[in-house]
Chains A and B, each alone.
Chain A
Amino acid sequence: MSEFLQALDIIRPYVAGAVLILGAVIVFLGASGVLRLPDFYSRLHAAGVTDTLGTLLVLLGLILFSGFTLLSAKLALVGMFLLLTSPTATHAVANAAHKSGLKPLLGTWRSQPPKDEPGNNT
């Protein structure tokens, strides 16, 4: 049993690093989504990816790095506060845009013109 725990302790930093890298990639994808999406409201959704899954994975990686310590408890509290405050901030921004009369893009939007017949569009 103690050998199993020792093995867990050896692989822990590697798992933590992998989780941190995954979180960083997801934060990057969220940022690229903010650039690619067409209007204000849809960009909020891409920012939401960074806010939720990206932050959670980065914090989880840091918790795995520091192990069973007080630092991990503080990081978990940071995650909890972020999950409570970030939707409030997103709602405040969206509500301000809606109240000041910004109209959302509705219907169907394509980043490229539709191709009816492949090969016909060259």
Chain B
Amino acid sequence: MNVSNESRIGVFMGYALSLTTAMAVLWLVLSGHYDSTLLLGLGAGSAVFASFMAWRLHILDVETSPYHRLWRFVLYWPWLLMEVIKTNITVIRTILSPDMVLTPRMVRVKTLPDTDMGRALFANSITLTPGTVSVDLDSDEIIVHALLKEMTDKAGFADMAARSARASGEKPADKAGGMK
């Protein structure tokens, strides 16, 4: 009990520290003040106060402070960017064709990541690539509207689901070991 409590406090401090650091960096980038001690102090104070309020609201967890595994997302983004550019070209070609042929489909995608964050990332990635929009999210499926029937390829969705699961920190070996 004591040990788990202490490790939980350690994890909590990690979230609080990374959230405060991220907000201090954001404040520095957005304000651009580096020379006035008063302004720097006020900025640091507001970053600490915002973290304190997150703790008081009991929302200080991996979803509000995912910065310690930001590198996984950073590894995911270039792949997603390439997908976005590819599907953009397909949709623009469809829009520009003089005799447009659409084959709209509503499909259910059953291959989902396990954690909430992985699912949110997966659904957002589907919406972000033009040509597919996630319309509804249930506990075991996402309903997707696609502009062309070529975009409802099951293997493509499974690949994207696996990549977003990995980006949100799930290990493919032990599925239950995903951090919740």
Contacts and interface: CB of A to CB of B under 8 A. Distances in A.
Contact of B143 (A37, A52, A83, A98): A98
B130 A45 contact: yes
B127 A105 contact: no
Interface string A27-54: 0011011001111011011101101110
A107 interface: yes
Interface string B109-149: 00000000000000111011111111110000001010100
B135 A42 contact: no
A87 to B, nearest CB: 4
Question: On chain A, which size bracket covers the interface?
Answer: 35 or more
A109 interface: yes
Given A37-B95, A53-B88, A87-B128, A48 B103 contact: no
A87 B133 CA distance: 8
A1 interface: no
B134 A91 contact: yes
Contacts of B147: 42, 45
Q: Determine chain A's interface SS by DSSP, over half rule.
A: helix
B102 interface: yes
B92 interface: yes
Main secondary structure of the interface of B (DSSP, over half): mixed
A108 B133 contact: no
A16 interface: no
A62 interface: no
Contacts of A91: 123-124, 127, 133-135
A73 interface: yes
Contact of B91 (A32, A33, A98, A109): A33
A112 B91 CA distance: 18
B162 interface: no
Given A41-B145, A73-B29, A104-B106, A111 B130 contact: no
B99 A52 contact: no
Contacts of A37: 95, 100, 102
B84 interface: yes
Q: Which 7 pairs from chain A and chain B are nearest by CB? A: A87-B127, A33-B95, A48-B130, A111-B100, A53-B88, A112-B99, A109-B102
Given A74-B29, A106-B105, 19 more contacts: A33-B95, A37-B100, A41-B145, A46-B91, A46-B130, A49-B91, A53-B84, A70-B32, A83-B128, A84-B124, A87-B123, A91-B135, A98-B136, A105-B102, A108-B102, A109-B104, A110-B100, A110-B101, A111-B98
